[in-house]
């Protein structure tokens, strides 16, 4: 049965005699556009500079060529792979009446030769064949990515920026600890508010003060650390204000509801909602697949083995859910999911626990998705009082 948001194939009938089909192989320096034109025997290719206006002009020129060849053009369908340029071009073309699709790069079948030829021209032909099969409604040629709105993309930025800043904070602290350890100093707390003032009083085990270059380097690193910590606090404060000012707005209401679960904080709730839970996913399988928490079986003849996680989805969600699964066992040990995990790891083998924690993360993500979208209660889970 077809689903309304099934992006594995087109649900619109293709009339190739009235449809211009174009694909764009995008790079930082140029765009190679390949087309299939009704009434035109040749399949043109044109290399352009990365300019949407020139791309639109090329599509209109191809449309005029087909009209002169006696065809009535009612549809222009364009596709390109998701990548560095994001989704802005898809939104720009859609606003100008061009049907645009964004292809999952990993869904396009490629040659399995050890050293396969790869050029922009060959990639364009590969995209053209996959896109044409998708437009015909045939499964297995390629899959499309949902094009998010600017607001949806912007909502992800604070959490992702904070993640980068936390990594930078950890890198700076570890670097300064290593610098001090080389001098034999191990008990100095670099995250203190007045750490810079205490640097002058530090001395090595030999009784000598810090070398001047080391002291200057540490002062600069501490100043950089203060800046990073301040930016993290700014992001957290801005998020708190948004949740207080618009508590009933769609994603914000989901965040507040998810944060009521004991063991889930605002940071994790915000990440899950903006990365996965607020997306219009088709079913529970799509939720698990988007997070990359599904398996990758390898079967051929009598050979049967599991390669582990597919890792084809959102890496942030996958990492966060596995961490949350361990935390969930600690704070919600009387829940149905925790008891399910405990029953299947009764042998206390490390390999069993490692495998089953991924299964728990998948089940937990699906349960949370149902909790915030359709209000299905979490069996045995303790909730904080509503605020």
Split at pLDDT 50, 70, 90, the class of 2 is: very low
- pLDDT, tens digit, 9 for 90 and up, residues 361-381: 999 999 999 999 999 999 999
Region 171-188 average pLDDT:
91
pLDDT given at position 310: 79
- pLDDT, tens digit, 9 for 90 and up, residues 345-359: 998 888 899 889 999
pLDDT given at position 80: 96
Between 12-21, 187-196, 280-289, the lowest mean confidence (pLDDT) is in 187-196
pLDDT higher than threshold 60 for residue 53: yes
The 3-state secondary structure of the chain, one letter per residue? CCCCCCCCCCCCCCCHHHEEEEEEEECCCCEEEEEECCCCCCCCEEEECCCHHHHHHHHHHHHHHHHHCCCCCCEEEEEEECCCCCCHHHHHHHHCCCEEEEECHHHCCCCCCCCCCCCHHHHHHHHHHHHHHHHCCCCCCCCEECCCCHHHHHHHHHHHHHHHHHHHHHHHHHHHHHHHHCCCCCCCCCCCCCHHHHHHHCECCCCCECCHHHHHHHHHHHHHHHHHHHHHHHHHHHHHHHHHHCCCCHHHHHHHHHCCECCCCHHHHHHHHHHHHCCCCCCHHHHHHHCCCCEEEEEECCEEEEEEECCCCCHHHHHHHHHHHHHHHHHCCCCHHHHHHHHHCCCCCHHHHHHHHHHHHHHHHHHHHHHHHCCCCCCCCCECCCC
pTM of the prediction? 0.85
> CB-based burial of residue 340 (10 Å sphere; 0-12 exposed, 13-18 middle, 19+ buried)?
middle
pLDDT higher than threshold 50 for residue 1: no
Region 245-263 average pLDDT:
90
pLDDT given at position 200: 81
Nearest CA among 312, 273, 280 for reference residue 156: 273
pLDDT higher than threshold 60 for residue 298: yes
* Locus of tokens 């919600």: 332
Split at pLDDT 50, 70, 90, the class of 3 is: low
pLDDT given at position 113: 85
pLDDT higher than threshold 50 for residue 107: yes
CA distances from 264 to 71, 145, 270, 287, 376 (A): 59, 29, 10, 19, 17
- pLDDT, tens digit, 9 for 90 and up, residues 198-252: 888 888 888 888 999 999 999 999 999 999 999 999 999 999 999 998 888 889 9
pLDDT given at position 5: 60
Q: Report the C-alpha gap between 240 and 269 in whole angstroms.
A: 13
Chain-centroid distance of CA 374 in Å reads 24
CB 65 within 8 Å of CB 37: yes
pLDDT given at position 193: 81
Q: Report the C-alpha gap between 359 and 144 in whole angstroms.
A: 27
115 versus 265: the higher-pLDDT residue is: 265
């Amino acid at each position: 049965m077809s689903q309304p948001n099934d992006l594995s194939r087109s649900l619109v009938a293709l009339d190739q005699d009235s449809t211009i089909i174009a694909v764009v192989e995008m790079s930082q320096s140029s765009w190679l556009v390949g087309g299939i034109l009704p009434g035109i025997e040749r399949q043109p290719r044109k290399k352009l500079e990365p300019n949407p206006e020139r791309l639109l002009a090329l599509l209109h020129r191809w449309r005029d060529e087909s009209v002169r060849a006696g065809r009535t053009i009612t549809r222009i369908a364009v596709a390109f792979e998701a990548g560095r340029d994001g989704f802005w071009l898809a939104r720009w073309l859609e606003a100008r009446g061009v049907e645009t699709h964004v292809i999952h790069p990993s869904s396009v079948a490629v040659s399995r030769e050890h050293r396969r030829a790869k050029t922009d021209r060959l990639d364009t032909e590969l995209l053209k064949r996959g896109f044409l099969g998708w437009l015909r409604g045939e499964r297995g040629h390629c899959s499309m990515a949902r094009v998010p709105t600017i607001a949806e993309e912007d909502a992800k930025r604070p959490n992702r920026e904070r993640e980068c800043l936390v990594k930078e904070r950890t890198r700076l602290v570890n670097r300064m600890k290593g610098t001090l350890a080389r001098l034999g100093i191990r008990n100095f707390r670099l995250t203190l508010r007045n750490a810079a003032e205490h640097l002058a009083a530090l001395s090595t085990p030999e009784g000598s003060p810090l070398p001047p270059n080391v002291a200057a380097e540490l002062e600069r690193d501490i100043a950089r650390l203060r800046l990073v910590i301040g930016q993290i606090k700014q992001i957290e404060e801005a998020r708190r204000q948004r949740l207080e000012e618009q508590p009933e707005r769609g994603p914000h209401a989901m965040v507040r509801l998810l944060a009521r679960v004991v063991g889930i904080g605002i940071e994790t709730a915000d990440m899950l909602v903006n990365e996965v839970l607020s997306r219009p996913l088709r079913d529970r399988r799509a939720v698990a697949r988007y997070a990359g928490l599904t398996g990758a079986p390898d079967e051929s003849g009598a050979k049967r083995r599991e390669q582990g996680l597919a890792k084809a989805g959102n890496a942030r969600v996958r990492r966060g859910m596995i961490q949350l699964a361990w935390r969930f066992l600690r704070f919600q040990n009387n829940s149905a999911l925790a008891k399910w995990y405990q029953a299947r790891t009764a042998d206390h083998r490390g390999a069993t626990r490692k495998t089953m924690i991924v299964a728990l993360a998948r089940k937990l993500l699906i349960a949370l998705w149902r909790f915030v979208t359709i209000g299905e209660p979490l069996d045995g889970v303790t909730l904080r009082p509503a605020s």
